[in-house]
Amino acid sequence: MNTIYTGKVSRAGIFSTTYQKAVAIAFLCLGLLACVASAQSGGELRFCLRSEPKTFDPLKVEDDASGAIRYLTGGVLLRMNRQTQALEPELAQSWKVSKDGRQITFKLRSGLSFSDGTPFSADDVAYTVQQLMDPALHSPTGDAFRSGPGNTETKVISPTQIAITFPAPLAGLDRQFDQVAILSAHSAKKEMAVLGPFMVADYRPGASVQLKRNPNYWKNDAQGRKMPYLDSIRLDIQSNRDVEMLRFKRGEIDLINAIDSEYFDKLAATSPQLVRDAGPSLDSEQMWFNQVAKSPLPAYKKTWFRSAAFRRAISEAINKQDLSRVVFRGHAQPAVGPVSPANKFWFNANLKPEAYSPDAALSKLQAEGFRLENGSLKDASGNAVVFSIITNAGNKYRERMATMIQDDLQKIGVHVNVVTLDFPSLIERMTQTFDYEAILLGLTNVGLDPNEQMNVWLSSSENHQWNPQEKTPETAWEAEIDKLMRAQAASAEPRKRKESFDRVQEIVFEQAPFIYLVNKNALSAVAASVQGANPVILMPQTYWNVEWLTVK
């Protein structure tokens, strides 16, 4: 008794009786059961990253592999539903964009914490925005928020409410928060403390990244079960697509996020239930002519390439239906313009792909003074119409498209030389020396908003590929595009923005600075063991709903 009062209770003392031992064992068993119950039974999802992730800092992401890890680990205020293309609340319960498009106010969820247990509050959002807009960080994600000169201000109204004010209006401001993973302002683990469904557990450079379920993830399903269902994700770093395909066939990985049409058909022939064609994606393949005034091309070729009628005629003489059907085995659609029909809101549905008509193309060219002589097209000065199309060596789809275009244009007497160059040489010719005639390349669109294409359409932009960095717009239609793009960017009203961008699409269709060839379909492969997968056209196609996936 004295011993008890003095508080010196020994472990032997506690388990001194059989009864007490039994109670202890019962509690131990209950504890073990609780541990087992807390582990999810969703299994492990395995797939490949096609390159080494360059960073785990979500604000510095600029490559696909790092983007995939950000998507799986990062907690965002708002998330665009990849299926409906609608914006949905995540860490923010609600949000409001000011009428002038400069300010956004978020009401945050309360009681959430990062993967390391650090509580989440408006301070973390403020810290993330400050980091994002820090010029010294050079955040590619932050670039999308740089609306104009001046500082971005954050005002923490309460632990669950924050207002962010930008120096100038930002069109589609709320949608851009889909890419902003919130960092912890206080955690010692820095960017490794996350709010997303998974967290990085292990990284073996050159081999794999292991993610495990974030025990503090805030979401529960309708039945009250903690999400995500999966226990872990193993991301193997594998750049070789043949090996990726073999591993999928052997069952070593569970999905291929984006699969070539050739592999798709091979898999479809043996296991049609494993492949999914989600329809046209945002990606396009296009060609364009060099319109740079200072390029080292002969003057008569510059005249051809600067003629809208010439470009439209070439476009009309290319059988885009065949490109889709033959090169992409039907897993592509003839493209109409800079926006894919997959982009439900921004696509101008009034535009229809140009019909293939070599006769109409030839008539257009003849109206411009060209003439067909002994199977060879000649301009008014008697110069034979010969030009080269460059594409990047090793891309078999582009090489095939270029060869088919060569064949199509031969029918109207245009002689095309197909040149494949290594990518750095191609880029040098395209951006430095301008020593090229036509280029065939593709464009991967990640976002839906027209603002993400500003760097292509503004005539002063470096990526205005057919004639970059114009001091002032060299043509009236380029000046009009500049005006319309700026107008839509300055407006916060979706309807007005849509009107402006619809007109941009019409001008691009009429002037054909880019000859849009095809929109590739979003193809993927998912093993039968993966349940809940519903591939879509937007990245990440197969695991956009990762919280709901299970592997049996």
Partner 1 sequence: MNFYRINAWRRLACALLLVVAGVTLAANWLAPAGYARQYREAAGAPPSHEHWLGTDDIGRDRFARVLYGTRISLLLAPAAALVSTFMAALIGGLAGYLGGAWARSAMAVTDLFLSLPWLFLLITVRAMMPLNVSPMVSVLVTFLMLGLLGWTAAARVLCTSAGSLRNSDFVRQARASGIHGARLFWIHVLPNLKPVLYAQFWISIPAFILSEANLGILGLGVAEPLPSWGSLLKELEGLVSVGEEPWKFVPLVLLVLVVTSFQLVLSQQDEVAA
What residues line the site for partner 1 (CB under 8 A)? 241-242, 245-246, 249, 260, 262-263, 266, 322, 325-327, 329, 386-388, 390, 393-396, 399-400, 402-404, 406-407, 417-422, 425, 435-437
Measured from the CB atom, the residue of 66 and 290 that comes closer to partner 1 is: 290
Beta-carbon count within 10 A of 88 CB = 11
Q: Is 28 helix (H, G, I), strand (E, B) or coil?
A: helix
Torsion of CA 239, 241, 246, 249, to 10 degrees: 110
Beta bridge partners of 276: 524
- Give me 188's structure tokens: 């010692």
- Give me 78's structure tokens: 């708002």
**Cβ of residue 34: shortest distance to partner 1, in angstroms?**
47
- Give me 462's structure tokens: 């470096």
Identify whether the C-beta of residue 105 lies closer than 8 Å to the C-beta of residue 94.
no
Q: State the number of CA atoms in the 13 A half-sphere of 310 facing the CB.
A: 25
Distance separating alpha carbons of residues 348 and 498, to the nearest angstrom: 9
**Cβ of residue 265: shortest distance to partner 1, in angstroms?**
9
Measured from the CB atom, the residue of 245 and 282 that comes closer to partner 1 is: 245
DSSP per-residue codes, 148-216: SSS--EEEEEETTEEEEE-SS--TTTGGGGGG-BPPPSS-TTGGGS--SSEEEEEEETTTEEEEEE-TT
Measured from the CB atom, the residue of 7 and 242 that comes closer to partner 1 is: 242
Strand spans (E) along 219-274: 232-237, 255-256
**Cβ of residue 66: shortest distance to partner 1, in angstroms?**
27
Measured from the CB atom, the residue of 371 and 411 that comes closer to partner 1 is: 411
Measured from the CB atom, the residue of 435 and 499 that comes closer to partner 1 is: 435
**Cβ of residue 197: shortest distance to partner 1, in angstroms?**
34
**Cβ of residue 247: shortest distance to partner 1, in angstroms?**
11
**Cβ of residue 429: shortest distance to partner 1, in angstroms?**
8
- Give me 135's structure tokens: 């010029």
Measured from the CB atom, the residue of 333 and 445 that comes closer to partner 1 is: 333
Measured from the CB atom, the residue of 297 and 538 that comes closer to partner 1 is: 297
**Cβ of residue 428: shortest distance to partner 1, in angstroms?**
8
Which H helix or E strand runs over 450? none
**Cβ of residue 430: shortest distance to partner 1, in angstroms?**
12
Tell the residue number behind the tokens 């978020």, with chain if given: 106
Which H helix or E strand runs over 87? strand 87-89
Q: Is 213 helix (H, G, I), strand (E, B) or coil?
A: strand
Measured from the CB atom, the residue of 129 and 523 that comes closer to partner 1 is: 523
